[in-house]
């Protein structure tokens, strides 16, 4: 069984639409900026991948909610649904939810009502959405939500589901990372020997998923399957066995083999432990699979957009398949030993036919999710 993706939208530091973001990724321009949201004197890391929509010298609440309603509206319009989502479930993946708004309320007394901390409030007001669920599943949240969307359609509880993700940088999250990472990253450099850790990004993404053949407009791509698990191996160190099980489960559900995959959108968080574990797993899985798939990691330009990162990678995978172009991994000059032999795209975009893509998302606590998407032909 497959599920049609009929609407897409995305916002990140490098663009306000999927097309803008994809073009920026292919251009490979450095996108990190000096930290703006918080006092840089308080932290070791001095850079982030922030969306530049704050007033000068300050911050505002509910930015994550504003991005969420924007991408849901755009994805729904792209799918020809209009703005009445009263009969359509909306599933939201996130890591921090509206924690930044709570920080501003606590520190500065900003006016934030309790109900404003729940994404469902804004979705109800904007679209009449009566069925909304929020998944706070760390970095895998949106692919978990995508998996539930396909289950809901397969079970007959819905024909159409909107899947979205959003996260704004929080000071508590930034500070925690700043203290637990051994190195001081000045950029997010996945799979490069100079990688020192992750830096936060901001953004949101949304897709409309429909039962095959029931949509009114063009089909962007099709979901073949989503595999997920929670191995609970360690709070921060990924477990190669758990990742392997998630990848193979996704392949099984999608009815594909390793040699069928043309593109892998890597989780690529830039942390030494994650990069080594992900690269090692993929080397074993794709060993003997011919020349192997092309691979890229967009966090090198968007930063780690947390709960929405998996869905943002999926949207970029859809565009890569449409364009026959894979953006390079920015800053990748000396791959780590574990990545030897992988088809990491370096320097300039890689061109060629792409039919099936694998999207990886691996979160703290061993929350793993992998999606398989095929091009719409």
Same fold, 3-211 and 221-375: yes
Whole-angstrom distance, CA of residue 116 vs CA of residue 310: 25
CB-CB neighbours of 300 under 10 Å: 29
Domain 221-375, CATH: 3.40.47.10
pLDDT at 377 over 80: no
Q: So what's the pLDDT on residue 212?
A: 93
pLDDT at 120 over 90: yes
Evaluate whether 66 touches 205 at the Cβ level (below 8 Å).
no
- Taking only the tens place, the pLDDT of each residue in 136-172 is 989 999 999 999 999 999 999 999 999 999 999 999 9
Out of 206-215, 223-232, 234-243, 334-343, pick the least confident. Answer: 234-243
Average pLDDT of the chain to the nearest whole number: 95
Listed by start position, the domains of the chain span 3-211, 221-375
81-97 pLDDT tens trace: 999 999 999 999 999 99
User: Does the pLDDT of residue 217 top 90, yes or no?
Assistant: no
Element (H, E) at 263: strand 263-265
Class of domain 3-211: alpha beta
pLDDT confidence tier of residue 52, bands split at 50, 70 and 90: very high
256, pLDDT greater than 80 = yes
Contact indicator for 317, 373 with CB cutoff of 8 Å = yes
Burial tier of 109 (Cβ tally within 10 Å: 0-12, 13-18, 19+) = exposed
Predicted local distance difference test score (pLDDT) of residue 359: 98
The pTM (predicted TM-score) of the whole model is 0.97
């Amino acid at each position: 069984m497959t599920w049609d993706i009929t609407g897409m939208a995305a916002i990140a530091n490098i663009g306000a639409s999927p097309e803008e973001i994809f073009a920026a990724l292919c251009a490979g321009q450095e996108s990190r900026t000096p930290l703006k949201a918080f006092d840089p004197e308080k932290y070791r890391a001095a850079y982030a991948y922030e969306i530049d929509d704050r007033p000068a010298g300050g911050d505002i609440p509910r930015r994550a909610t504003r991005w969420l309603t924007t991408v849901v509206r755009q994805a729904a319009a792209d799918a020809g649904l209009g703005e009445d989502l009263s009969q359509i479930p909306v599933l939201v993946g996130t890591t921090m939810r509206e924690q930044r708004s709570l920080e501003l309320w606590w520190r500065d007394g900003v006016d934030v009502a309790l109900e404003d901390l729940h994404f469902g409030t804004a979705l109800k007001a904007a679209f009449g959405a009566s069925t909304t669920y929020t998944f706070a599943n760390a970095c895998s949240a949106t692919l978990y939500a995508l998996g539930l969307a396909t289950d809901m359609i397969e079970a007959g509880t819905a024909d159409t589901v909107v899947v979205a993700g959003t996260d704004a940088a929080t000071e508590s999250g930034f500070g925690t990372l700043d203290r637990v990472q051994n190195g001081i990253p000045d950029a997010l450099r996945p799979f490069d020997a100079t990688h020192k850790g992750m830096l936060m990004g901001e953004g949101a993404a949304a897709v409309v998923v429909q039962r095959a053949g029931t949509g009114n407009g063009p089909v962007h791509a099709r979901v073949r399957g989503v595999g997920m698990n929670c191995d609970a191996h360690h709070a921060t160190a990924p477990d190669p066995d758990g990742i392997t099980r998630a990848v193979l489960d996704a392949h099984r559900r999608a009815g594909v083999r390793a040699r069928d995959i043309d593109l892998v959108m890597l989780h690529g968080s830039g942390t030494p432990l994650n990069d080594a574990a992900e690269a090692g797993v993929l080397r074993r899985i794709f060993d003997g699979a011919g020349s192997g798939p092309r691979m890229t990691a967009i966090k090198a330009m968007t930063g780690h957009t947390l709960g929405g990162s998996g869905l943002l990678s999926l949207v970029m995978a859809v565009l890569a398949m449409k364009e026959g172009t894979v953006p390079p991994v920015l800053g990748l000059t000396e791959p780590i030993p574990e990545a030897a032999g992988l088809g990491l795209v370096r320097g300039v975009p890689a061109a060629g036919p792409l039919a099936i893509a694998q999207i990886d998302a691996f979160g703290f606590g061993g929350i793993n999710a992998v999606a398989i998407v095929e091009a719409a032909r």
